[in-house]
Structures are given as C-alpha cells and as structure tokens.
C-alpha cells in the first residue's frame, strides 16, 4: 500500500496553552472530582496552572452559553465542560442531557476550537461516582488529554 500522510496530535501541551473549564455546580460533590481530574490531566501534560481558568455555572443546562462565551473570547485554545446529570423521577433528565450535548457540540463547530464534553449522564449516583475518579476513571482527566490532543491536531491542518 502507498505511504499516506497521517495527522495526529500528541498529548504534550504546546507552550503557553490556555484552557477554560466550565463546571456545573449541580451534584457538586461529583463535579468537584471531574474538575480536579481535568486540572490534574492538564498540568501533568504540560499546561501551566496559571493558564487554566474555571467558571462555575448553576447546572449543566447553563454550560453551552458559558462555553460559547469562553470559546469565542479568543483567550483560550480549548474549553472543557464538566458536569453530572443524574436521572430523577421525571423526564427533565432527558431534556437537560439532550440540550447540553447538542449545545456543547455546536459551540465547538461554531467557534472552531476544541470544546470537550465531560458531562457525565448517569442513571444513578453510583454510576457517577465510578466515572468521577473511581473504577471507571475520571471523565475530566480524559477530557484534559483529549483537549491537548485536539489543539495539537488542529494546528497541523
Ligand atoms: N438535574 C440536574 C440539573 N438540573 C438543573 C439544570 O441543569 C439547570 O441548571 C436548570 O434547569 C435551570 O436552567 N443540572 C445538572 O447539572 N445535573 C442534574 O442532575
Ligand atoms: C436531571 C434532572 O434534572 C433531575 O435530577 C431532576 O430530578 P426530577 O426529575 O426528579 O425532578
């Protein structure tokens, strides 16, 4: 097979990389762990903590508008969104999840910078705990590495 050109971003942060994080305060006990995981992942892979800015919003539904403000400010190379939406007794969960996921994706497409979806959407608190730094890892940490990779990839295009 002929040799083809393959583009791939590594997970070493470029010099001076700036990251915004939007964190939803609802289920704060979970989201604090996601935020900490994101910061840990960023710093361990070369982002200076001086170049990380987090903004707290009331709930996941407020993430997209805040992510859009950050993404379009020109101040950040990437934006990470973290939150925890846990199903309750009504269909409210479905509406929140749908709008947050669509909204975050739209911000990335519209702004042209990587906007990472680190909002866990679970049936119960146990599933959320598992994804916020226990047996299923930390979605915030995962998003940190993906943010670095995507910044490095898009800069090659
Ligand atoms: N139930 C959860 C919410 N609900 C609140 C909404 O996100 C929003 O803040 C409210 O509807 C006002 O616009 N938010 C979460 O982040 N997680 C939940 O489990
Ligand atoms: C995800 C939610 O909005 C949910 O926690 C709200 O709970 P409920 O459906 O019992 O009002």
Question: Is 57 a known ligand-binding residue?
Answer: no
Q: Which residues contact 4 (CB under 8 A, 6 or more apart)?
A: none
Scanning the structure block, which residue is given the tokens 């997970």?
Answer: 11
What distance in Å separates the CA atoms of residue 137 and residue 141, rounded to the nearest whole number?
Answer: 8
Cβ-based neighbour number of residue 41 at 10 Å: 22
**Is the ipTM reported for this complex over the cut 0.90?**
yes
| 17-151 CATH pick, 3.40.1350.10, 3.40.630.10, 3.30.750.24, 3.40.50.960 | 3.40.50.960
CA of 26 from ligand 1 middle (Å) equals 6
Phi, psi of 69 (to 5 degrees): -60, -45
Q: What's residue 14's pLDDT?
A: 97
pLDDT score recorded for residue 1 = 83
pLDDT tens-digit profile of 32-90? 999 999 999 999 999 999 999 999 999 999 999 999 999 999 999 999 999 999 999 99
CB of 90 sitting under 6 A from ligand 2:
yes
Q: How far is the CA of 43 from the centre of ligand 2 (A)?
A: 34
Q: Atom 5 (ligand 2): residue with closest C-alpha?
A: 88
């Amino acid at each position: 097979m002929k040799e083809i050109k393959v583009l791939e971003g590594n997970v070493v942060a470029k010099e001076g990389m700036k990251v915004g994080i939007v964190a939803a305060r609802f289920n704060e006990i979970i989201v604090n762990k996601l935020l900490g995981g994101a910061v840990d992942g960023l710093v361990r892979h070369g982002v200076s903590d001086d170049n990380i800015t987090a903004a707290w919003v009331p709930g996941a539904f407020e993430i997209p508008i805040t992510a859009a403000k950050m993404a379009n400010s020109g101040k950040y190379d990437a934006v990470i969104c973290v939150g925890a939406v846990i199903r309750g007794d009504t269909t409210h969960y479905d509406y929140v999840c749908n709008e947050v996921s669509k909204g975050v994706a739209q911000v990335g497409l519209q702004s042209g910078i990587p906007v990472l979806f680190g909002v866990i959407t679970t049936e119960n608190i146990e599933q959320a705990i598992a994804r916020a730094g226990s047996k299923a890892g930390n979605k915030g940490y995962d998003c940190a590495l993906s943010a670095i990779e995507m910044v490095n990839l898009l800069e090659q295009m």
